[in-house]
Chain A
C-alpha cells in the first residue's frame, strides 16, 4: 500500500477492474517511460470559484475553449440561499459570479445561473441532467467531483491550471492511479444509511488511507443502495484522501439515467447499456489494496473531531488522546477536543447542538430530503436550535415542493432555502457563529469550515432530523416513531422493518 505507482499492467493480463477499463478507454496517447498517459475528458463541470483564472489563461494565450459541447457551468459556492433575486452583498462573491457569467457569455459556455431551474451544486446538477453516466471521465475544479463516480465513471477534482488545460485540449496528462476495493457486505439496519457507511470507512482507513487510489465500493450493501446513496458515498472518497471513488454500474444505475434530459436515446441508449454492462470489475482482477466492512454491524455514525476520520458510532463516547497509539493521532485528538470543546468520555448522545444543517453535495438530493422529512413529519424542532434545509439544486427544490416536503419542513420550524453549497463552507452568508455547534450532513468538519470558530459534527440526514427534534446528537433509534421511515439512499422498494 505504500508504493506510489500503480502496478504495471500488460495487455496479456485480461482481468481488469472497473477503474482500469474506464481509464484504458480514454487513453489518447499512451505515456512511454513513466510519462503520463494523455486522457480524454468526456464532461467538464465548471463553477465560479476555480474557473476565472482558467478563462483568463485562455484569453491571454488567445486559445479557444475546445469543446463547448462537453462543458457546462453553474453557480453554487458563493450564491446566497435567501433573497436570490437581490444583488449579492459580498464583493468577492459578486465578482466571482459576475466573472463566470461574463466568461460563459464570451466563450459560449452553457451556464445555469441563480434563478434558473438547473442551477445548483455542480455535483447535483450533472447527474440530474443525465450528463453523468457510466464509463465516462468527469472533471471539475472541485474535489468533490468524486461524487459522479457513483455511476461507474472516472470522476475527479482538478486544480485551476488543469481546468484551463481541459478547456483548451479536452484532455489531461495523468499517471494511472492505484486501485482499492472497499467491500461492504451485509444488510444495513433501518436507520443506518450510506452516510454511515462512508463515515465508518474513513474512520477505518483514515483521512490519508486512500491517497493515490481510486476506491471501488463493492459488495451487497453497496449494490442495495440507490443512486443517491451511492453518490453520498463516492462524494466523500476525497475525505479518505482518494483521487476518486467508483461503483460499478448496474440496473439501478441504468434506471436512474434513462429518460433524463441528456441521457442517450434509441439505438444510442442500447449501445450505451451494452457497453456499460461490460464495465464491472472482472472476476479475478487484482486490486492494489482491499478492505472489508461488515454492514450488519454498522450503526449511525457521527464525527467528534475536526477531520472526517475522527468519527465513532453514535452510541459511543467521545474518545480521548489515550485511545490512540499513534503519536500524531494523539496530538490531533487533543487539539480536536479543544477546538470542539468536548471532554473525553462524554457520551456522543449528550452533546447539545445549536444548529442543524441539512444540505451539501453529500446529502441534498431528493431522497435525502425525503428521509429527513420522514422523521420530522408532525414534530417540532427543539427549542433554540436553528435548522436549515438547503436543496442541492433548484430542481430538487421544485421536486420537494411538488411532494409537499417544504411544508413539512416549515411546519417543523426549519428554514427552507434556495439551492447552493450554503453552510457547507464559509463562502456565502450561511455560516456558523464562533463557538456554535452544528450537526451537519456535509462532508468536512475542519476547523472553521462552516464559519470561523464553528464546530461541526458530520451526520446522516436521519441523524440530522432526530438531532433537530431532540436538540442533542440523536438517531431515529432514539425516537419513538411508530411509522416506517424512509432510509436515505436505500432503494425505496426495499422492505423497511422499523
Chain B
C-alpha cells in the first residue's frame, strides 16, 4: 500500500445521499476472481446514463469524490472500495459513512474523510462553479482546499496513521515478523504439515 500524504486532483460534486454498496458496485461483479480491474463496475447502473456526472468530460481522471451523507451503506462488500480505487479515486468525502465501508477504506488506502454537511455544500458550490476544478486533500494537516475555501475533515487517528505510513493489515502484522519467526521456531514437531505429501499404505 502506498503512503498517503496529500492528493491534488479533479473533485466531483456528487450530489447523492445514501449511496449504498449495491450502487457503488452491483452484485453481478462479485463473481470475478480478481482484486483489481473493477473500474468498469463502479456505479455501473448509473453510468448507463450519458448524463451521469462521471460520464461528463470535465470529470475524467477525477481523484476526489465529494458525496452526500450515508455513503457506503448496505452490504459489506470490499469490492466497493476496490472499484472506487480502480476508477482512480483516492479520496471520498461525505458527512457520514457506513462503518464497515469506512473500515474497509482505511485498510485499502482509500481516504474516507468526514466533512460536515454545510461544508460539503460549500465544496459542491465551488466545484460546480467551474466543473473539472482541482482540489487538494492534505492528510498531514487534515484539510480540504478548493479555490479560496479551506476546510478541516475528520478521520480517526489510527486510520490516519495507517494511511500516512502506507500500512495495510498484512504490513501491520508483518511488523511482528520476528515474533512470528520465533514462534515458528518453537512450534512442536507433532503439529500438522501438509507437505511433503504423505501416503500411508493402509490409507484405504
Interface residues of A (CB under 8 A from B): 28-29, 38, 40, 42-43, 52-53, 56-57, 60-61, 63, 68-72, 92, 95-96, 99, 110, 130-133, 136, 160-161, 164-165, 168-171, 173, 259-262, 264, 268-269, 271-272, 275, 395, 398-399, 402
A72 surroundings in chain B (CB, below 8 A): 194
B194 surroundings in chain A (CB, below 8 A): 43, 68-72, 110, 131, 262
Report the bound CA distance from A165 to B169 in whole Å: 7
Report the bound CA distance from A160 to B194 in whole Å: 21
A42 surroundings in chain B (CB, below 8 A): 191-192
Report the bound CA distance from A218 to B173 in whole Å: 35
Q: Which residue of A lies closest to B107 (CB)?
A: A161
Whether A69 contacts B169 by the Cβ 8 Å rule is no
Whether A28 contacts B170 by the Cβ 8 Å rule is no
In the complex, 27 of the A-B residue pairs with CB atoms within 8 angstroms, ordered by the A residue number, are A40-B184, A53-B35, A56-B34, A57-B35, A61-B168, A69-B195, A70-B193, A70-B194, A72-B194, A92-B31, A96-B33, A99-B33, A110-B194, A131-B194, A136-B192, A164-B170, A168-B170, A168-B173, A169-B173, A169-B180, A171-B173, A173-B169, A173-B173, A264-B189, A268-B188, A272-B188, A395-B204
Whether A261 contacts B33 by the Cβ 8 Å rule is no
Whether B33 contacts A165 by the Cβ 8 Å rule is no
Report the bound CA distance from A68 to B194 in whole Å: 8
Report the bound CA distance from A268 to B192 in whole Å: 11
A261 surroundings in chain B (CB, below 8 A): 198-200, 203
Whether B188 contacts A275 by the Cβ 8 Å rule is yes
B202 surroundings in chain A (CB, below 8 A): 259
Report the bound CA distance from A15 to B197 in whole Å: 39
Report the bound CA distance from A11 to B70 in whole Å: 44
Complex partner residue of B200 from A110, A171, A260, CB under 8 angstroms: A260
Report the bound CA distance from A15 to B204 in whole Å: 41
Whether A399 contacts B179 by the Cβ 8 Å rule is no
Q: How far is the CB of B105 from chain A (nearest CB, A)?
A: 13
Whether A56 contacts B33 by the Cβ 8 Å rule is yes
- B36 sits at the interface (CB 8 A): yes
Whether A38 contacts B176 by the Cβ 8 Å rule is yes
A92 surroundings in chain B (CB, below 8 A): 31
Report the bound CA distance from A173 to B183 in whole Å: 15
Q: Which residue of B lies closest to A167 (CB)?
A: B170
Q: How far is the CB of A120 from chain B (nearest CB, A)?
A: 14
Q: How far is the CB of A332 from chain B (nearest CB, A)?
A: 21
Whether A110 contacts B197 by the Cβ 8 Å rule is yes
Interface residues of B (CB under 8 A from A): 1, 31, 33-36, 78, 107, 168-170, 172-174, 176, 179-180, 183-184, 187-195, 197-200, 202-204
Q: How far is the CB of A487 from chain B (nearest CB, A)?
A: 24
Q: Which residue of A lies closest to B79 (CB)?
A: A53
Q: How far is the CB of A474 from chain B (nearest CB, A)?
A: 34
Q: Which residue of B lies closest to A99 (CB)?
A: B33
B189 surroundings in chain A (CB, below 8 A): 264, 268, 271
Whether A165 contacts B173 by the Cβ 8 Å rule is yes
Whether B192 contacts A38 by the Cβ 8 Å rule is no
Complex partner residue of B169 from A161, A170, A259, CB under 8 angstroms: A161
Report the bound CA distance from A398 to B172 in whole Å: 46
Report the bound CA distance from A171 to B169 in whole Å: 11
Report the bound CA distance from A395 to B203 in whole Å: 9
Complex partner residue of B170 from A53, A131, A136, A165, CB under 8 angstroms: A165
B195 surroundings in chain A (CB, below 8 A): 68-69, 110
Report the bound CA distance from A133 to B183 in whole Å: 19
Whether A136 contacts B174 by the Cβ 8 Å rule is no
Report the bound CA distance from A38 to B191 in whole Å: 19
Whether B197 contacts A52 by the Cβ 8 Å rule is no
User: Which one of A72, A160, A395 has the greatest number of beta carbons of chain B within 10 Å?
Assistant: A72
Report the bound CA distance from A131 to B189 in whole Å: 13
Report the bound CA distance from A442 to B72 in whole Å: 34
Report the bound CA distance from A269 to B188 in whole Å: 11
Q: How far is the CB of A265 from chain B (nearest CB, A)?
A: 9
Report the bound CA distance from A133 to B172 in whole Å: 30
